[in-house]
Amino acid sequence: MRSGSKTLTTSAGSIDRSMVEQIVRQVALEYLGRGKSTQAPVLTVQTSSRHMHVCREDMDVLFGLGSELTFDRPLFQEGNFAAKETVTIVGPRNRLISNLRILGPMRKQSQIELAFTDAIMLGFTDIPVRLSGDIAGTPGAVVIGPKGVVELKEGLIRAAIHVHMNPDEAAYFGVAKGDRMKLPFWRRGRRDLQQRSCSDRSHVTPQRPHGHR
Ligand SMILES: [Zn+2]
């Protein structure tokens, strides 16, 4: 460790949170070529596993008329939660994925978000990468719940990598809904390691319409 360089190792071998935040902010500012006086918003990166969003009508069929989702645990974005309810989905070659978690609250349209490997496992070769809610023309699947079966005509997507920002954060980064950003990675604060763009450039979703992820 050269003296004077920014490093995450101190003489004590560890650092406190404020120092981490300061370093992250500094790197972000340098990356953006902004002045050092402005504080960069700290955004959170999360991943989510496969899940389903369900509409009222499909909920009625799958879990019974008037049934409600049962809260299991909160998601990062306020008001959104993983439900206790799960379903089984059946793909075109009768392969299935069981214990598919439903995320609440209910939506206007049912939608299933899968990983690429899930899609292959189910026998799909053509599940498009879409932003959440953009399901027109996507494949469907048969969904089995404890009380009934729904045949979704469409709604299977692989979720596009996207960024949620509030309007202030979007203004800071100078982006608007639908813009694309590059997301560089660095490990343990060292941007000279593992700096790469993600293969998909990230979509920006400034108004938090999706509710999770
Ligand atoms: Zn989702």
Neighbours of ion ligand 1 (CB under 5 A): 113
Per-residue confidence at 187, pLDDT binned at 50, 70, 90? low
Residue 168 lies in a domain: no
- The pLDDT-based confidence of 56 (bands split at 50, 70, 90) is very high
**Structural domain count, the chain:** 2
- For residue 34, the model assigns a pLDDT of 54
pLDDT at position 3 over 50? no
Number of continuous H segments (helices) and E segments (strands) in the chain: 4, 12
- Kindly compute the dihedral angle of the four CA atoms of residues 57, 58, 64, 67, in this order, to the nearest 10 degrees: -70
- Cα 54 to middle of ligand 1, angstroms: 10
Distance 51 CA to ligand 1 centre (A): 6
pLDDT at 62: 98
Q: Is residue 203 part of a domain?
A: no
Identify whether residues 69 and 107 lie together within a single domain. Answer: yes
Distance 11 CA to ligand 1 centre (A): 44
On whether both 24 and 84 belong to a single domain, the answer is: no
Range of the domain at 147: 51-159
Q: In the numeric block, which tokens belong to residue 102?
A: 């439903």
CB atoms within 10 A of CB 64: 13
For residue 176, how far is its CA from the centre of ligand 1 (angstroms)? Answer: 21
The stretch 73-99 carries a mean pLDDT of 90
> 3-class DSSP state for residue 66?
coil
- For residues 20 and 59, membership in a common domain is answered with no
What is the average pLDDT value for the chain, to the nearest integer?
A: 77
